[in-house]
Structure 1
Amino acid sequence: MDCNLQSNYKLSKTEKKFLRKQIQARHTLLRHEGIETVSYATQSLVVANGGLGNGVSRNQLLPVLEKCGLVDALLMPPNKPYSFVRYKTAEESKKAYVTLNGKEIVDDLGQKIILYLNFVDKAQWKELGPQALPPGLIVIEEIISSEDEEMLLKSVNWTEDTDNQNFQKSLKHRRVKHFGYEFHYENNNIDKDKPLPGGLPDICDSILEKWLKEGYVKHKPDQLTINQYEPGHGIPAHIDTHSAFEDEIVSLSLGSEIVMDFKHPDGVTVPVMLPRRSLLVLTGESRYLWTHGITPRKFDTVQASEGHKSGIITSDVGDLTLSKRGIRTSFTFRKVRQTPCNCSYPLVCDSQRKESPPSFPESDKEASQLEQEYVHRVYEEIAGHFSSTRHTPWPHIVEFLKALPSGSVVADIGCGNGKYLGINKDLYMIGCDRSQNLVDICRERQFQAFVCDALTVPVRSGSCDACISVAVIHHFATAERRVAALQELVRLLRPGGKALIYVWAMEQEYKKQKSKYLRGNRISQGKKEEIISDTSMQGLLVEHMPDPGNQDSASSVPSIIDFQETGCNSRKAANSQLPVHINRTSFHSQDVLVPWHLKGNPCKDKPVEPFGPAGCHDSSPVFHRFYHVFCEGELEAACQALSNVSILQSYYDQGNWCVILQKV
């Protein structure tokens, strides 16, 4: 509907609703992306909800736009829920504005999406910088013939007796076979003392000999893992343990193409296309320093032109579209290492680090005991000191709470000292926490709070309009318990209710947004940039977070990551083999113990820094809290494991991964 025509007649209820949503979409684009719309007709339009990040491909959107005129360009930025279209004339653009505004289209998954169009003077978005493949990584296309591919796929018998030692059925979202040695996913390692009978399949011999002869691989592998992935599933970002395998790791992709994400510890992410029948070879830095993983999703952003098959997904917004995933089978070959690793990356090398290798709970009982010792007991001990560092609310969380309708019932699960319970006086908020001492502090402040475990909240199902969970889920020691905690949040919500969740991020620097947790770390510097990932949004019209403001200044809002965690006395915690994290450094393990120095130490008269004075030798008590820090995409994947939720928004906020989900 043309804005100039709106005053000529009375708007219907439906038209008023549409106009309100169109205005909200325009406001959202300006607020989060800096996209300014104009009220007069131009050749260019921004199409809200019509983007790659919203599940709309170029092949779906372009024919719809071309019905209104000759499209000069369609620009689709990666991972964004909007696109830009430029018509040959302003008249054609105006026709699209009138005709397509509010148009409902159906994506490849059968979900309905409503488009909202606004005029712009020019297309603008935050561009990705130039990227190169991680050093040591190569992709060889068409490494085998289609006949060999068919032969290899048919050779894998997924229906054989599940008691066979080469069969692994414990993985939830994919089928797996191991040959030579079993690959243990809990620590990305193998047991060198327990080889599997039979070695590698004979069918692989001729292929491996050819690769050796042609120089694609230097070591003949003695370990093979075959994975079969259903569309929509992936693998968490990880590095294969240094001490377990030689430098070279190679993976053959069969059946379907996939985009694999490679991440440097400083936060740089490089998406790499692995075509069908291609070979990925990891050596050197790409093998030892960069994590690699596959983000769980139904579609990948790929090059639209036929000329780009493998390698980096470029930022050419005029040549990007979506590719629907199919069933993919990977053959990953490794050579078991017989001597300690002496790579050039000692900080992330388990052979060269002095601490013992991490130990992980092997059962729910062990996980519960770990949490009791390194979470519950610690918070009871440090409650008063912890509370004294928790006084400034986070802007994004405040915005979420203030956007809720007056009278909403809101539960803060893991409320700590209750700093969010009094943010919006128009809400009825209740809090709960595992720590009796923290709940007592809430009550002293006249807040409604009670003691309970986040896995079993004694509140009636469907009774809450919203929930928040800030820095809680990462304290659970297994993936199953983390998903159970998310499910408990959803249980509390009424249909349509929303939950906001924050967890610590493995990536403490992400696309130039540097966590204040790394302040003082001079390895990498970058300017502030807010990153919002809307890959699972059904639309832009949801509660969004405000801009973070001047978070690079010394007076800015503190990070959720604790102020009082210092590097002082960061020794191995008693009775645990989990690594103790070193303050102000990037995380090198997802499961760590983080030291907390109790107030009243000999360093207190020295100049105070946000994370405690460096180099201080402290004789006061040091407590260690267990954390599972989340890799990019891991929180979304955990939420997608729930059957009755929709992810409205996911984003990175100063060293934390954050999700807003809705119960459906």
Structure 2
Amino acid sequence: VDSSHQHNYKLSKTEKKFLRKQIKARHTLLRHEGIETVAYATQNLVVANGGLGNGVSRSQLLPVLEKCGPLDALLMPPNKPYSFARYKTTEESKRAYVTLNGREIVDDLGQKIILYLNFVEKVQWKELDPQALPPGLKVIEEIISFEEEKLLLESIDWTEDTDKQNFQKSLKHRRVRHFGYEFLYENNNVDKDKPLPGGLPDICDSILEKWLKEGYIRQKPDQVTINQYEPGHGIPAHIDTHSAFEDEIVSLSLGSEIVMDFKHPDGVTVPVMLPRRSLLVMTGESRYLWTHGITPRKFDTVQASVGHRSGIVTSDVGDLTLSKRGIRTSFTFRKVRQTRCNCGYPLVCDSQRKEAPPSFPENDEEASELEREHVHRVYEEIAGHFSRTRHAPWPRIVEFLMALPSGSIVADVGCGNGKYLGINKELYMIGCDRSQNLVDICREKCFEAFVCDALAVPLLGGSCDACLSIAVIHHFATVERRVAAVQELVRLLRPKGKALIYVWAMEQEYNKQKSKYLRENRISQGKKEEINSDASMPGLPVEQMPDLGSQDSASSIPTINGFEEGGCNSGKVTDSKLPIHTNRTSFHSQDVLVPWHLRGNSDKGKPVETFDPAASHDRGPVLHRYYHVFREGELEAACQALSNVHILQSYYDQGNWCVILQKI
């Protein structure tokens, strides 16, 4: 209790509970934000729970605070669950401290929030660097009138066409229509030889002619994708495929404003406000290099001042508030590219990347052969060694399993050594894997498991309440086979059943954090074997360990078994068109061969265990497993290629892209 407000009488249970929470809030602010509170009264208060980051807007908080006296300033840092109030006098801040501490307010979503106030000597927060719009990006406000907006919205027929040529698709809480050409989400491209009949709607055609004449756009688009977003939902960050469309891409926002996040590969993120009836124009660097996406949330942080509602959302903490999202409809216009892209960004350009030919494997037969040689055969060889590195389950997968109702039937497709089959004793779990040796290990642990291919699981359709697919689908060598693997999971589910899918991520650095795979190892050579006995423990350095991201690995961190610097260099396997990935480096190709160094003498894939440090230098064969590492949004696209799924959640977890889907 602050010394200036101590009481001589015994506190009630309610008062004790409140004080505990107030002290906890104070400690949390110091530990996570570096905000130091003081035990004496000042003009400044920090209001825990009263911030933009937990759904409290300026218009909600300001009237509550002003009941105790006029404010000099209300500072609300972006994305933070607290704010700072500066009163004109210390007496007024004392009044607020006494009367508002523990005050319950209701946010715009009807949720109850309790405020906890503490005195601070000075207000402080981590300021964001001043930002500019990405090069080549423009936002043009009020590009159309209210009447034109109404006509455009009324012109969209969301009902399914009877000829099936141009139909509505549902993609993660949004409705979609395509005109001119259909955008193919499974490969993020268009079929240039199959234009849709009818071209662009007449109303779009006339508006485009007007924009062209007035100089807002440089070329007339021949393709439009219309998206309708429900409040609270968005679209993953992405770059429109270089080879599919010309430089200029424009997007018209109707019905509601939105904040779109632009992100440079170096991690700089610029939030850009797109007002209702505004036009976003992307050219050059903003089109080719920066990703753009809409974060799923019900509120956006925006400028409070009238006249400052477009362009960059600044870090002016004295002028930020929340804007509740409404239903937004976007018209995204593009011109289909008929030639190769020769932009100035070859490292991210699919037309210019010098990788393995995208046509390899060229057919399903070649894909099957690649998987037999560099997935199935390898796992049979390394099964025992692999199993020794798979012990600790990953928290978010455990969380998924523990949340399932008691008695649920769960299939772990690609179960490996069965690490997840015994997590929740209240579930009936059955595992399957392509490797006989891994299934034998499961049976030794008394788990139910059998051998099968993940594309053809011999279980009755609709028989499972949930499915797991942990680090499996990235072993399939074509888009079609990866989508088929998702489809097989969905077939097993009953209606409203859920599946959790993990795949390796191309992006091993995400949100300024390196995956464990890229972290520096600080473990001595003499401890290698000791570490390998529990290599999948989260947080352990991984440079010296066998791969932590194989077919059953919940960690799914692509760590390669190169025990010495340069032990597994990039190169080629004889007769292979695929590059070999280099240990502890970022991925430069989506389709790679990942080395596994099999230590010790093996017997049916089970190496002889040795804890002699000197023995670790006796190298066995190096085997290469095929992986297709997924770019951001690619796993979602594979799921959305199916008409009977609904994506409940998508997230990044230590070097993996992850999705929880539900069968409709």
Q: TM-score, normalised by structure 1?
A: 0.70
**C-alpha contact (below 8 Å) 1:179/1:223 kept by paired residues:** yes
Q: Which residue of 1 aligns with 2:624?
A: 622
CA change 1:17–1:629 in 2 (3 A) is farther
Cα distance between partner residues in 1 of 2:223 and 2:585:
34
- Secondary structure of the residue aligned to 2:247 is strand
Of 552, 558, 564, the residue aligned with 2:560 is 564
Matched, 1:232 2:228: no
Q: How does 1:508-519 map to 2 (within 5 A)?
A: 508-510=508-510, 512-515=512-515, 517=517
Q: Which residue of 2 aligns with 1:247?
A: 247
Amino acid at match of 1:561: I
**C-alpha contact (below 8 Å) 1:505/1:632 kept by paired residues:** no
- How far residue 344 of structure 1 moved from its aligned partner, in angstroms, is 1.5
Q: How does 1:90-109 map to 2 (within 5 A)?
A: 90-109=90-109
CA change 1:484–1:323 in 2 (3 A) is farther
- How far residue 475 of structure 1 moved from its aligned partner, in angstroms, is 8.2
Q: Which residue of 1 aligns with 2:334?
A: 334
**C-alpha contact (below 8 Å) 1:390/1:419 kept by paired residues:** yes
CA change 1:218–1:630 in 2 (3 A) is closer
Q: How does 1:111-150 map to 2 (within 5 A)?
A: 111-150=111-150
Amino acid at match of 2:557: I
Q: Which residue of 1 aligns with 2:595?
A: 597
Q: How does 1:339-418 map to 2 (within 5 A)?
A: 339-353=339-353, 354-357=355-358, 381-386=381-386
CA change 1:451–1:24 in 2 (3 A) is farther
- How far residue 189 of structure 1 moved from its aligned partner, in angstroms, is 0.7
- How far residue 210 of structure 1 moved from its aligned partner, in angstroms, is 2.1
| Post-superposition CA distance 1:472-496 (Å, at most 9, x none) | 89889569679979x99x999xxxx
Amino acid at match of 1:13: K
- How far residue 507 of structure 1 moved from its aligned partner, in angstroms, is 4.5
- How far residue 433 of structure 1 moved from its aligned partner, in angstroms, is 7.5
- Secondary structure of the residue aligned to 2:199 is coil
CA change 1:600–1:415 in 2 (3 A) is closer
Amino acid at match of 1:598: W
- How far residue 385 of structure 1 moved from its aligned partner, in angstroms, is 4.5
Amino acid at match of 1:186: E
CA change 1:186–1:472 in 2 (3 A) is closer
**C-alpha contact (below 8 Å) 1:596/1:625 kept by paired residues:** yes
- How far residue 378 of structure 1 moved from its aligned partner, in angstroms, is 5.7
CA change 1:81–1:285 in 2 (3 A) is same
- Secondary structure of the residue aligned to 1:621 is strand
Cα distance between partner residues in 2 of 1:46 and 1:372:
61
Q: Which residue of 2 aligns with 1:56?
A: 56
Amino acid at match of 1:624: Y
Q: Which residue of 1 aligns with 2:166?
A: 166
Cα distance between partner residues in 1 of 2:260 and 2:78:
15
| % same residue | 73
Cα distance between partner residues in 2 of 1:644 and 1:516:
27
Matched, 1:192 2:192: yes
Q: Which residue of 1 aligns with 2:68?
A: 68
Matched, 1:77 2:73: no
Q: Which residue of 2 aligns with 1:16?
A: 16
Cα distance between partner residues in 2 of 1:391 and 1:41:
53
CA change 1:97–1:376 in 2 (3 A) is farther
Q: Which residue of 2 aligns with 1:89?
A: 89
- Secondary structure of the residue aligned to 2:190 is coil
| Post-superposition CA distance 1:638-659 (Å, at most 9, x none) | 9xx99999x9xx9988656899
CA change 1:433–1:119 in 2 (3 A) is farther
**C-alpha contact (below 8 Å) 1:104/1:113 kept by paired residues:** yes
CA change 1:200–1:317 in 2 (3 A) is same
Q: Which residue of 1 aligns with 2:534?
A: none
Cα distance between partner residues in 2 of 1:257 and 1:482:
39
- Secondary structure of the residue aligned to 1:245 is coil
Amino acid at match of 1:621: L
**C-alpha contact (below 8 Å) 2:30/2:36 kept by paired residues:** yes
Matched, 1:220 2:195: no
- Secondary structure of the residue aligned to 1:8 is coil
Cα distance between partner residues in 1 of 2:10 and 2:341:
75
Amino acid at match of 1:90: T
**C-alpha contact (below 8 Å) 1:300/1:323 kept by paired residues:** yes
Unaligned runs of 5+ in 2: 400-409, 477-481, 521-537, 549-554, 562-567, 600-619
- How far residue 157 of structure 1 moved from its aligned partner, in angstroms, is 2.5
Cα distance between partner residues in 2 of 1:24 and 1:553:
38
CA change 1:583–1:210 in 2 (3 A) is farther
Q: Which residue of 1 aligns with 2:289?
A: 289
CA change 1:226–1:586 in 2 (3 A) is farther
**C-alpha contact (below 8 Å) 1:376/1:434 kept by paired residues:** no
CA change 1:278–1:656 in 2 (3 A) is same
Q: 95-104 or 252-261, which moves further after superposition?
A: 95-104
Amino acid at match of 1:599: H
Cα distance between partner residues in 2 of 1:451 and 1:550:
29
Unaligned runs of 5+ in 1: 401-410, 463-467, 493-499, 521-547, 602-617
Cα distance between partner residues in 1 of 2:368 and 2:70:
62
**C-alpha contact (below 8 Å) 1:43/1:89 kept by paired residues:** yes
- Secondary structure of the residue aligned to 1:598 is strand
- Secondary structure of the residue aligned to 2:64 is helix
CA change 1:65–1:507 in 2 (3 A) is farther
Cα distance between partner residues in 2 of 1:482 and 1:237:
27
CA change 1:656–1:14 in 2 (3 A) is farther
Amino acid at match of 1:36: E
Max Rg structure = 2
**C-alpha contact (below 8 Å) 2:271/2:312 kept by paired residues:** yes
CA change 1:33–1:389 in 2 (3 A) is farther
Q: 435-444 or 230-239, which moves further after superposition?
A: 435-444
Cα distance between partner residues in 2 of 1:194 and 1:170:
22
**C-alpha contact (below 8 Å) 1:266/1:509 kept by paired residues:** no
Cα distance between partner residues in 2 of 1:260 and 1:13:
46
Q: Which residue of 2 aligns with 1:36?
A: 36
- How far residue 341 of structure 1 moved from its aligned partner, in angstroms, is 1.1
- How far residue 246 of structure 1 moved from its aligned partner, in angstroms, is 0.8
Q: TM-score, normalised by structure 2?
A: 0.70
Instruction: State the Cα RMSD in Å.
Output: 5.5
- Secondary structure of the residue aligned to 2:206 is helix
- Secondary structure of the residue aligned to 2:625 is strand
- How far residue 619 of structure 1 moved from its aligned partner, in angstroms, is 8.3
- How far residue 159 of structure 1 moved from its aligned partner, in angstroms, is 3.9
- How far residue 388 of structure 1 moved from its aligned partner, in angstroms, is 6.4
Amino acid at match of 1:564: I
Higher relative contact order (CA 8 A, sep 6+): 1
Cα distance between partner residues in 2 of 1:85 and 1:249:
43
Q: How many residues align?
A: 581
CA change 1:211–1:659 in 2 (3 A) is closer
- Secondary structure of the residue aligned to 1:35 is coil
Q: Which residue of 2 aligns with 1:157?
A: 157
Cα distance between partner residues in 2 of 1:202 and 1:142:
21
Q: How does 1:228-627 map to 2 (within 5 A)?
A: 228-353=228-353, 354-357=355-358, 381-386=381-386, 477=482, 507-510=507-510, 512-515=512-515, 517=517, 561-564=557-560, 568-569=570-571, 592-593=590-591, 595-599=593-597, 620-627=622-629
CA change 1:4–1:252 in 2 (3 A) is same
Q: Which residue of 2 aligns with 1:180?
A: 180
Cα distance between partner residues in 2 of 1:82 and 1:290:
31
| Post-superposition CA distance 1:611-638 (Å, at most 9, x none) | xxxxxxx983211245445569989x99
| Post-superposition CA distance 1:410-465 (Å, at most 9, x none) | x9x99988999999xxx999999766867988999xx9977599999xxxx99xxx
Cα distance between partner residues in 2 of 1:23 and 1:475:
50
Amino acid at match of 1:568: S
CA change 1:443–1:154 in 2 (3 A) is closer
Q: Which residue of 1 aligns with 2:406?
A: none
